[in-house]
Structure 1
């Protein structure tokens, strides 16, 4: 296929119909993520592909690789994995903060087998369960010089007999000789670079992946408390990356900044795979990513130095950046992208005022590979998270108690459902003689994915969110299953019932808070339970900020837990604290309106309205003010 077929015009809202008039299979997309990388290396062998920063403080000292060098590195690492016995249906676990070697190892894992990224912040028990479920016997992990705590966890997992081989990653720019590695009984341990040094850099020795083969399995939040592994095919990832690359956000001169961790689908699809389509230079943050305080001190100078045009981050990153004066020329920054959690209006407006750049909003989820909708800053649609991407269909449905679906008319609020080439293959539920056993677990029906998100789709394919049908708490883009918090609290001998919900938060979008009931004669306090849960919850991000003791948890007329009442209490508590210093507030009322919570603030004068607005615009919540008559 010609480049013209691969790159249709996609600059305005009106281009969608013309794009979809040509079948996707006629576009000539690469067959796999490896084929995508190989194409880039053939077309731009000497162009810089990566500039990986050792840290925020060392932003002028990157480790750089051309596309040709990147392909050679991937060949070496993939051939080592093949030598270790990794085949097409075998998972390779990757547990490390971002570094130069992790980028290469992730692509190599998708070439030799299946990449299974793990968040190192999860508990050892949780990580062990994920390893058992994915069946990975090779673990690629941060070494003692890169992330000592992660290295300690990796050794513990190896001693538990969960892996046979541990391939150790070094820092992007080691400060001196690397620490020697210990011997672990029955486990092969070595630095990845050393073990792969003699491997063939020119060609991969194994079978090449095909479009329907699995490329990656990502752990994602669920509603049962058990870890879920969502399986992506190579066709899923290539199609989603192409949909983003086809848009006007990316051209060959676009330099992309990457600061999200590679165990997150956004980092993989948006900032690793998508730039390969047009040979774009990606500047990768150090191992702390957007959590590196040094990064913010120099960020605007980095934008000027590298001519950064696009980046992808969660709302809290953009809110933080507005606190730092723009001390450089940042006219190159044209496409800052935001997603993963609701975007407060004040963050959007504040960032645009501070920088002159308009945020490109997006919507997606792991089960639909990554991105399913994006905004066009030149033609804003207030209240929308964007128009659906090409070849993805989005509709609203009503889900009955028995699980059956009913389509809703266009413009009607319901549960969003997605179909198309990015819908995942299913969750890993086991392993049989022919590979992984995959199951939609009730989320897939005739090729349509139940997203669990509430919203509506307008006539132009714009998606408008209206809350979540599922109970996940989203903290800074990190999905938290309330069930793991509840199970932790229920393990306390004095707790008889527990429920966790999200409370709005200026910095993280949401934070988890919990409500409990206690046994007769119990003496434990909410603060003691908060501390108790903090030390035991499997995912540190899920540690509840507060634990409130109630006489009983709210229930419906038929005795089911009524979470909206707890969310109302959590929202009121947050607003009470946020508005405490403003005079003239008569009342704060929280109510359920349709599928969302709405706060009504009654004030004494219109002047007080302005003060309240300045505070509440910083939250991604629905609210209104009324002047007391």
Structure 2
């Protein structure tokens, strides 16, 4: 491949047409994530690839690996997995906080077989379900030094499931001999680094993966229900990483800061694979990543010390950083990328005013590998999440009652759909003799991915989000975008976070309510914030019926707003109020599954169940009674 073809000029939205004049197939992209790593190790063998902090408080004590050393480590780990019987269609599950060994193990799993990164903070039932669905034969997990709770969960998983090996990881920079690991009947247990120590570091002993081979199985965010397991091919990951690396804003020696967990696609594609294309180094935070309170006190010093040029995080991280005094020279930081959830205008303005660093939005989802649109520091388009990436297509469609799609013209809002080289081949639904069995489960239609997001695409390919289809508040048939409410509340100087959702209503089906977090020392009340919002929301139906002040908004482990928890809380409050005074009712539990609220009303015998049922029957939700002493 030639650099002329690999690196077109790409600094602004006007470059898109010229880039796409050359077919993607002609650009000579590596055929797999392994080929991408081998290319980097050949071109820049002595350059630092990884700088991994053991923890935020010890940010001056990193472990460093060059590109050549990283490739050698991946060879050893992949050969160790192969010695355990892992082949191309076999899955290696990985569940651990970020550490140096996890980065290597993830790349090695994609070389030897298929990687399945799992969020160790999921419930044990969810974790066990995902592990079974992945078909994993080997589990790479945090050892007792790194994360004792994760190690305990992994041992329980191995005791109950069909795993053949459990391989433990040690903390970054761990010294001395590790503690012996207790055995598990019928399962090989050991430390991955010890197992791999004697393996060949010069080459992989098996056949390298092809572009169409599966590289990974990533579970979806689970923000609207139970997570699914989405498959990525090597071609998916390499293409999407190249689309991001093609950005002409950064030199080859630019450093990228990485702190999102490796079970999230952003961490792998944006901060592992994309830097490999140009030989850029990645500076990795400790195992807690952005969830480590100590990171924020040292963050600007870390930027100065390691000359960080770019970072990637979610809006909640930037909201916190906007409150951290800039106590260092952060002139190296030229770009802060934000995604995973909509960026409130107040967060964007606050961070940029505080730091002088542009916040550049992006848009993507696991089913499209990672990124499908991104903005440009030198050509901001307020109100958008960026322009579609090269070779990807994004359109808005209206889906009829019969399931038929109708393409909408530029600027008209509908359900967003994506096609192109980053769209996944399907969800894992089972296994056969060759590996995972995949099915689009209705999300794939003639090569197009139904994102479930509402939005529009303008004539220049810029995407305007209008919320999640499942997040819409439907009041008496009137669709309300929660962002309208959230933006109004976030404009208040004492509000640091806002989440709006629907509360069940006996007459309107549901009505909007909101939850907010406040700055330290703030004294504004919920009723005062409701009055504030009513003056700024032009749509009367969207004015929240109530605003509740909370200590923290519910988030997923990567910092995405977790709307089901808000909806469940609002439903519980409504039902408790409606049932107040009804004999025998002593509690209500609520949950949200796939966007629908279900309630369990606990009643005492002899409760007047008829009266309870009469109240519950007014609401459009699922419910059942549970008689308790």
Contact 1:387 1:463 (C-alpha < 8 Å) held by counterparts: yes
Following superposition of structure 1 onto structure 2, how do residues 114-153 of structure 1 map, counting pairs within 5 Å? Answer: 114-153=114-153
Indicate how the Cα distance of structure 1 residues 591 and 11 shifts in structure 2: closer, same or farther if over 3 A, else same.
closer
Q: Once the 2 structures are TM-superposed, how far is the Cα of residue 342 of structure 1 from its aligned partner?
A: 1.1
> Structure 1's 253 and 79: CA in aligned 2 closer, same or farther, altered over 3 A?
same
| Matching of residue 362 in structure 1 with residue 308 in structure 2 | no
Contact 1:128 1:162 in 2 (8 A): no
- 1:26-77 Cα shifts (integer Å, max 9, x gaps): 0000000000000000000000000000000110100000000000000000
Report the counterpart of residue 227 of structure 1 in structure 2.
Answer: 227
TM-score for both structures, normalised by structure 1: 0.79
**In 2: Cα distance, 1:275 partner to 1:357 partner:** 21
1:569 to 508, 513, 533: 513
Alignment of 1:589-628 (within 5 A): 598-599=542-543
1:403-482 equivalences in 2 (<5 Å) = 403-471=403-471
What is the CA-CA distance between 1:599 and the residue it aligns to? 4.0
CA distance 1:141–1:223, change in 2 (3 Å): closer
For residues 44-443 of structure 1, the aligned pairs below 5 Å read 44-174=44-174, 176-221=176-221, 225-443=225-443
Deviations 1:590-610 (A, max 9, x none): 9896xx984499xxxxxxxxx
CA distance in 1, matches of 2:496, 2:117: 23
CA distance in 2, matches of 1:458, 1:466: 13
Aligned to 1:588: 534
Distance 1:108 1:584 in 2: 53
Judged with a 3 Å threshold, the aligned counterparts in structure 2 of structure 1 residues 307 and 466 are, in CA distance, closer, same or farther, namely: same
Per the TM alignment, residue 159 of structure 1 is displaced from its structure 2 partner at its CA by: 1.2
Query: SS where residue 57 of structure 1 aligns?
Result: helix
Distance 1:597 1:196, change over 3 A: farther
Match of 1:137, SS? strand
1:488 corresponds to? none
**How far apart are the structure 2 equivalents of 1:304 and 1:223?**
35
CA 1:577 to 1:443, structure 2 compared with 1: closer, same or farther past 3 Å?
farther
Q: Is the 8 A contact 1:572 1:588 kept in 2?
A: no
Q: Aligned to 1:76, what secondary structure does the other structure show?
A: helix
Cα gap change, 1:217/1:143 in structure 2, threshold over 3 Å: closer, same or farther?
Answer: same
Kept after mapping to 1: 8 A contact 2:498/2:514: no
- Aligned-residue CA RMSD (Å): 3.0
CA contact (8 A) 2:76 2:196 kept: yes
Cα deviation code 1:210-232 (max 9, x no counterpart): 01100001111469944310000
Q: What is the alpha-carbon distance in structure 2 between the residues aligned to residue 135 and residue 163 of structure 1?
A: 9
Q: What is the CA–CA distance in structure 1 between the aligned matches of 2:330 and 2:240, rounded to whole Å? A: 29
In 1, the alpha carbon distance for the partners of 2:529 and 2:437 equals 60
1:366 to 1:144, Cα distance in 2 relative to 1, 3 A: same
Distance (whole Å) between structure 2 residues aligned to residue 337 and residue 209 of structure 1: 31
Distance in 1 between residues matched to 2:273 and 2:516, nearest whole Å: 42
Q: Contact 1:129/1:227 (CA < 8 Å) preserved in 2?
A: no
Q: 1:178 to 1:512 in 2, by over 3 A?
A: farther
Deviation at 1:588, TM superposition (A): 3.1
Structure 2 counterpart SS, 1:337: strand
How far did 1:324 drift? 1.4
TM-score normalised over the length of structure 2: 0.79
Listed as ranges, the gaps of 5+ residues in structure 2 are 474-481, 546-559, 562-629
Deviations 1:397-431 (A, max 9, x none): 00112222111111111111111000001001111
- Please state how far the C-alpha of 1:179 moved relative to its aligned partner: 2.0
Whole-Å Cα distance in 1 between the matches of residues 188 and 46 of structure 2? 36
Tell me how far 1:248 sits from its aligned partner.
2.4
Report if the CA contact (8 A) 1:31-1:210 is conserved.
Answer: yes
Q: Structure 1 residues 417 and 79, CA, compared in 2 at 3 Å: closer, same or farther?
A: same
SS of the residue 1:121 aligns to: coil
Closer, same or farther: CA 239–346 of 1 in aligned 2, 3 Å: same
Distance change (3 Å), C-alpha of 1:583 and 1:78: closer
Cα distance change of structure 1 residues 581 and 413 upon mapping to structure 2, 3 Å threshold: closer
Quick check: 2:454–2:468 contact (8 Å CA) kept in 1? yes
Contact kept, 8 Å, 2:533 with 2:543, in 1: the verdict is: no
**Secondary structure of 1:238 counterpart:** helix
CA distance in 1, matches of 2:50, 2:541: 44
**CA positional deviation for 1:105:** 0.1
- Cα offsets for 1:69-100 (capped at 9, x unmatched): 00000000000001101111111000000000
Contact 1:221-1:472 within 8 A present in 2 as well: no
Q: CA deviation at 1:260?
A: 0.2
* Partner-residue secondary structure (3-state), 1:208: coil
Deviation at 1:378, TM superposition (A): 1.1
Q: 1:472 to 1:308 in 2, by over 3 A?
A: farther
Q: Which deviates the most, 373-382 or 40-49?
A: 373-382
User: Unmatched 5+ residue regions in structure 1?
Assistant: 474-500, 516-551, 557-561, 602-618, 621-629
1:183: Cα distance to partner? Answer: 1.1
- For the structure 1 residues 209 and 573, does the alpha-carbon distance in structure 2 shift closer, same or farther, using more than 3 Å as the test? closer
Change (3 A) 1:226 1:329: closer
Q: What is the CA–CA distance in structure 1 between the aligned matches of 2:500 and 2:129, rounded to whole Å?
A: 23
> How much has 1:351 moved relative to structure 2?
1.0
